[in-house]
A = this chain, B = another copy of it.
Amino acid sequence: MPSGLQDMPWISGQQFIAGERVASVYASFSSHDAVTGRALPYTFFPATDAEIAAAADAAAYAFPRYRTSTLDERACFLDTIAEELDLLDDRFIELVMQETGLPEARIKGERLRTGNQLRMFAELVRAGDFLGVRITTAQPQRQPLPRPDIRQYRIGIGPVAVFGAGNFPLAFSVAGGDTASALAAGCPVVVKAHSGHPATSELTAQAVVRAVSRCGMPPGVFNLLFGDNVGGPLVSHPAIKAVAFTGSRKGGKALFDQACRRAEPIPVFAEMSSVNPLILLPGALQERGAAIAAGLAESVTLGGGQFCTNPGLVIGLKGELFETFCRQLADELQKRPPAVMLNRPTLTNYQLGLFQHAQQHGLELLATGSTADGRAEACLFRADPSLLFAPEHPLEEELFGPATVAVALNDWSELVRWAQGMGGQLTASLFAAPSELRDCRPLLELLETRVGRLILNSYPTGVEVCDAMVHGGPWPATTDSRSTSVGTAAVDRFLRPVCYQGYPDEALPAPLQDANPWGLRRQVDGQRQ
């Protein structure tokens, strides 16, 4: 254990509600060391129903003031959060490593990504295009009826409940993509700290709260709750107007059902699961099968295979080329060291999944990487093609960890039939030689209706945070295929349009005024200005 961490007074384990630290000490839980599984000396207090309600109410109270902040105020706030994250010292990095088992370079890289993500949304806010201003000017002389002046823009939907992911303790957790895009949209957040990294969550939350205070934002704009029973009461609370979640299909589905059952149902953006199929055409294997096998082994085992975009299904066409490829992939995976997993439950789930795969008729274990106690070994399975077409889609159940399943299909028509029946996925990767690609348009058109991102000759892991990214896809990859949780378009999830009819300039919100005081690019009578 790193020196000095044992008796840190800097982690109180209490909820963050409107800038206050609150806990009713009726129970507590600990953070754990990912490597040893042992409890760390940090104690956390699960939020009571009253605390959950207080956090939601605090967010609702902050909403009117926060949503009417200027673009510059909001952008500065996002930049300041990034700054505060940068200021966290090495003890923070050590702690994240300890809680998640992720290596130092990854944590530092992820912090950089998290800050860049916040800064990207700050830039988006400053530009103001996301407000989507549309103006239809009056035509008082129009016959048979005059046309009124109508002006539309988009406003934040209201307080957002954010459920951080376990596998991105920074970039998709407390101050991650969901929080950043909700704040960009003008929505306060209530974050549920992931149970896999509560201390990381606490220190990140402290950084956010410092930014709230430095920027003079209303304290309820950010709230954080600990505990495993937060989901139901939080999503049911009337003050919450949208939900963002990254995690398991079971967890996402439960929140979705809860949200639908509310007196006022609310949108849920849950990124739940994906096996991210790879399709390997013979020409590509012929050209560079060994290189693809090496690259795929790297992608399967990257970060212990704990990515939403981990390639869990590899599909080829029957024949010697694919057989050779499978042997090469097996060789590559056998060389891989075992991985420390994010936490014990994740390791246990992975091992249970491997056991279930081994029991499944039609699934055969081809190779495993090296093993070690308390670590996850890489695994390659081979599946009978019939499993791909089974009505329960067993090969589309995500096995979270460094494992993948290879399937050889008989021919192109079987490939098309599989693609037609496939459930929603975050990604599909195609490996094809240039000559093969010419005939792939029909397959791509099919895949386009099933996934959020189509990748050519590369691996799905590594999600670029940019304008064009789609990290989403049809059910069950997400609960709402019309959204992305990564990239600037993620802000659209938390905005809704509203319009003013017949209001004079002085009564309009600034973005809609004739003089355009915020200097926005707007659409006026169908023309971009």
A480 within 8 A of B: yes
> Is there an interface contact between A267 and B480, defined as CB atoms closer than 8 Å?
yes
Q: In the assembly, what is the distance between CA of A426 and CA of B272, in Å?
A: 33
A178 → chain B, closest Cβ, in Å?
16
Q: Would you give the 0/1 interface string for A460-498, flagging 1 where the beta carbon is closer than 8 Å to chain B?
A: 001010111110101110011111100001000001111
> Is there an interface contact between B489 and A134, defined as CB atoms closer than 8 Å?
yes
Which of B456, B474, B479 touches A501 (beta carbons < 8 Å)? B456
Query: Which of chain B's residues have a CB closer than 8 A to the CB of A468?
Result: 134-136, 150-152, 499
A-B contact pairs, 7 of them (CB 8 A): A64-B449, A136-B469, A452-B497, A456-B507, A470-B499, A472-B497, A482-B496
Which of A134, A437, A455, A482 counts the most B-chain CB atoms under 10 A from its CB? A482
A47 within 8 A of B: no
A455 → chain B, closest Cβ, in Å?
4
Q: Would you give the 0/1 interface string for A135-173, flagging 1 where the beta carbon is closer than 8 Å to chain B?
A: 110000000110110111001011000000000000000
Q: In the assembly, what is the distance between CA of A145 and CA of B466, in Å?
A: 14
A186 → chain B, closest Cβ, in Å?
11
A258 → chain B, closest Cβ, in Å?
11
> Is there an interface contact between B437 and A507, defined as CB atoms closer than 8 Å?
yes
> Is there an interface contact between B136 and A503, defined as CB atoms closer than 8 Å?
no
Q: Which chain B residue lies CB-closest to A441?
A: B507
A433 within 8 A of B: no
> Is there an interface contact between B453 and A501, defined as CB atoms closer than 8 Å?
yes
> Is there an interface contact between B136 and A506, defined as CB atoms closer than 8 Å?
no
Query: Which of chain B's residues have a CB closer than 8 A to the CB of A438?
Result: 506-507
> Is there an interface contact between B475 and A495, defined as CB atoms closer than 8 Å?
no
A257 within 8 A of B: yes
> Is there an interface contact between B265 and A479, defined as CB atoms closer than 8 Å?
yes
- Known contacts A150-B466, A265-B475; 18 additional CB pairs below 8 A are A63-B449, A134-B489, A136-B464, A136-B466, A148-B464, A157-B481, A265-B479, A267-B482, A437-B506, A438-B506, A448-B509, A454-B498, A456-B501, A456-B504, A458-B502, A470-B497, A472-B497, A474-B496
A446 within 8 A of B: yes
Question: Which 5 residue pairs of A and B lie closest in terms of their CB atoms, listed nearest first?
Answer: A136-B468, A260-B260, A150-B468, A136-B466, A152-B468
What is the size, in residues, of chain A's interface with B at 8 Å between Cβ atoms? 79
Stretch at the interface among A300-308, A340-348, A401-409, A520-528: A520-528
Which of B454, B458, B498 touches A451 (beta carbons < 8 Å)? B498
**Contact surface of A with B, Cβ cutoff 8 Å:** 63-64, 68, 109, 134-136, 144-145, 147-148, 150-152, 155, 157-158, 256-257, 260, 264-265, 267, 423-424, 434, 437-438, 440-441, 444-446, 448-449, 451-458, 462, 464, 466-470, 472, 474-476, 479-484, 489, 495-504, 506-507, 509, 521, 523, 525-526, 528
A411 → chain B, closest Cβ, in Å?
21
Query: Which of chain B's residues have a CB closer than 8 A to the CB of A158?
Result: 449
> Is there an interface contact between A440 and B507, defined as CB atoms closer than 8 Å?
yes
Query: Which of chain B's residues have a CB closer than 8 A to the CB of A521?
Result: 528
Query: Which of chain B's residues have a CB closer than 8 A to the CB of A456?
Result: 500-504, 507
A288 → chain B, closest Cβ, in Å?
15
Query: Which of chain B's residues have a CB closer than 8 A to the CB of A157?
Result: 481-482
Which of B109, B264, B434, B474 touches A476 (beta carbons < 8 Å)? B264
